[in-house]
């Protein structure tokens, strides 16, 4: 079986009629082969098309070398003619992204000599891997040149040059392939062997934006937003910038500075808080006579680290130091320490009688209790 690939002749065919050559039930649906098709099968980094064959939904399309396999939800009688309809929005996004990727890869190859060693078209972005590292400035320059090629609105050509011409031609993705090699050319930007679908003119691609870069293998991976996807991305970012700008009462172009100011202020407040807590702890300590048998302290608003620090300080003055922070309704976190008494045993008993969790080894235990202040004080009066 051989399928004529209509998308090679014209990537803009959205609907077509074809004869069903075969249809068998497979694992994921009916596997349909047509005498010709506009459905692009997955290949070269470009995902498969979707759409309809008659009333059946095409969920996947696969390249079987000589023929194209459509995975369809309905059975189609061999010998009959079926009407095919592509999910054109999906396909056009793929064309924008694929053509845009060629231009950026071509520019990076021309400007810095690196090869594209990986290409993935995702649902929300495109990633391209290059064989060498690039600085932020180099990426920005390549992006600028790529967008200039878009704005030049050049015609994109797909041809099958003769063997002689091909031999002398400098193009990307040069591999030993039998059969005709399809060369996709973007004048002034790129020449590349490719089996994908492309837009007619570069102007249809829309914006090409590199949104992030990371080291990958011995080179770099760039994340791209191209065409309609770039505009969607812009929209999302615009909404976020607006929201942050409103929250901080800062101009959109100054939100970075405004956030830094907030962080600095927060840092200052943290330092102030630490200093105030330190003063509070010193005052509390003064009230405990040196050598007191036990000291039970309830202090609201302390975090776990602070409870521990206070208990530590108190234990330098009292035989047993127990510090609680929290409330009767929400429970208390605690730290108990003693150099003299068995606080590990105390912890077990406390957990049982005061609905607690946690514990530890001598000389310090910590945890939380779901009990009121009165009950806790009574427990220490009676037992310790």
Residue 56 and residue 74 in contact, taking contact as beta carbons nearer than 8 Å: yes
Residues whose CB falls within 8 Å of the CB of residue 195, separated by 6 or more in sequence, listed in order? 43, 44, 182
Phi-psi region of 25 (alpha: psi -120 to 50; beta: other; left: phi over 0): beta
Helix axes 136-151, 88-112, angle to 10 degrees: 120
Cβ proximity to Zn ion, 114 vs 384, nearer residue: 114
Shortest CB 126 distance to Zn ion, Å: 12
Please give the residues from 139 up to 198 whose contact with Zn ion meets the rule CB under 5 A: 194, 196
Shortest CB 223 distance to Zn ion, Å: 18
Please give the residues from 50 up to 79 whose contact with Zn ion meets the rule CB under 5 A: none
Decide: is 224 part of the binding site for Zn ion (CB under 5 A).
no
Shortest CB 272 distance to Zn ion, Å: 59
Cβ proximity to Zn ion, 195 vs 321, nearer residue: 195
**Which residue lies nearest Zn ion, judged by its C-beta?**
194
Residue 360 and residue 347 in contact, taking contact as beta carbons nearer than 8 Å: yes
Nearest 5°: phi and psi at 110?
A: -65, -40
Cβ proximity to Zn ion, 121 vs 302, nearer residue: 121
Shortest CB 3 distance to Zn ion, Å: 20
Shortest CB 119 distance to Zn ion, Å: 7
Cβ proximity to Zn ion, 54 vs 196, nearer residue: 196
Residue 126 and residue 226 in contact, taking contact as beta carbons nearer than 8 Å: yes
Cβ proximity to Zn ion, 116 vs 338, nearer residue: 116
Cβ proximity to Zn ion, 136 vs 176, nearer residue: 176
What is the rounded distance in angstroms from the CA atom of residue 214 to the CA atom of residue 233? Answer: 19
Shortest CB 204 distance to Zn ion, Å: 16
What is the rounded distance in angstroms from the CA atom of residue 180 to the CA atom of residue 158? Answer: 12
Cβ proximity to Zn ion, 119 vs 332, nearer residue: 119
What is the rounded distance in angstroms from the CA atom of residue 286 to the CA atom of residue 14? Answer: 85
Number of residues that bind Zn ion (CB under 5 A): 2
Angle among Cα 99, 68, 48 to the nearest 5 degrees reads 40
Residue 97's alpha-carbon distances to 116, 124, 197, 203, in angstroms, are 15, 11, 10, 13
Residue 169's alpha-carbon distances to 116, 173, 269, 365, in angstroms, are 18, 12, 66, 77
Shortest CB 55 distance to Zn ion, Å: 33
Interface residues toward Zn ion, by CB under 5 A: 194, 196
């Amino acid at each position: 079986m051989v399928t004529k690939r209509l998308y090679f002749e014209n990537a803009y065919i959205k609907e077509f009629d074809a004869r069903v050559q075969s249809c068998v039930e497979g694992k994921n649906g009916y596997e349909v082969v047509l005498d010709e098709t506009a459905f692009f099968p997955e290949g070269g980094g470009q995902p498969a098309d979707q759409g309809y064959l008659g009333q059946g939904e095409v969920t996947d399309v696969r390249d079987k070398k000589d023929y194209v396999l459509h995975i369809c939800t309905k059975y189609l009688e061999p010998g009959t003619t079926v009407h095919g309809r592509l999910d054109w929005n999906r396909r056009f996004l793929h064309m924008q992204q694929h053509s845009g990727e060629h231009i950026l890869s071509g520019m990076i190859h021309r400007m810095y000599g690196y090869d594209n060693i990986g290409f993935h078209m995702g649902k929300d972005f495109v990633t391209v891997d290059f064989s060498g590292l690039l600085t932020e400035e180099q990426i920005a320059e390549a992006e600028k040149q790529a967008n200039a090629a878009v704005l030049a609105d050049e015609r994109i050509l797909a041809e099958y040059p003769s063997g002689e011409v091909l031999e002398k031609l400098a193009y990307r993705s040069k591999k030993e392939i039998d059969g005709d090699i399809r060369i996709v050319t973007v004048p002034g930007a790129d020449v590349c062997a490719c089996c994908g679908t492309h837009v007619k003119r570069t102007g249809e691609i829309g914006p090409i934006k590199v949104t992030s870069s990371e080291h990958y293998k011995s080179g770099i991976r760039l994340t791209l937003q191209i065409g309609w996807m770039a505009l969607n991305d812009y929209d999302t970012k615009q909404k976020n910038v607006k929201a942050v700008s409103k929250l901080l009462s800062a101009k959109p172009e100054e939100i970075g500075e405004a956030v830094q100011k907030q962080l600095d202020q927060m840092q200052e407040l943290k330092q102030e808080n630490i200093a105030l807590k330190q003063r509070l702890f010193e005052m509390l300590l003064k009230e405990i006579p040196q050598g007191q048998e036990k000291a039970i302290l309830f202090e609201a608003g302390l975090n776990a680290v602070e409870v521990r620090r206070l208990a530590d300080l108190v234990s330098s003055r009292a035989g047993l130091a127990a510090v609680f922070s929290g409330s009767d309704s929400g429970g208390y976190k605690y730290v108990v320490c003693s150099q003299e008494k068995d606080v590990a045993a105390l912890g077990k008993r406390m957990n049982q009688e005061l609905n607690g969790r946690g514990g530890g080894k001598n000389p310090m235990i910590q945890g939380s209790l779901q009990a009121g202040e009165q009950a806790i004080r009574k427990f220490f009066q009676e037992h310790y």
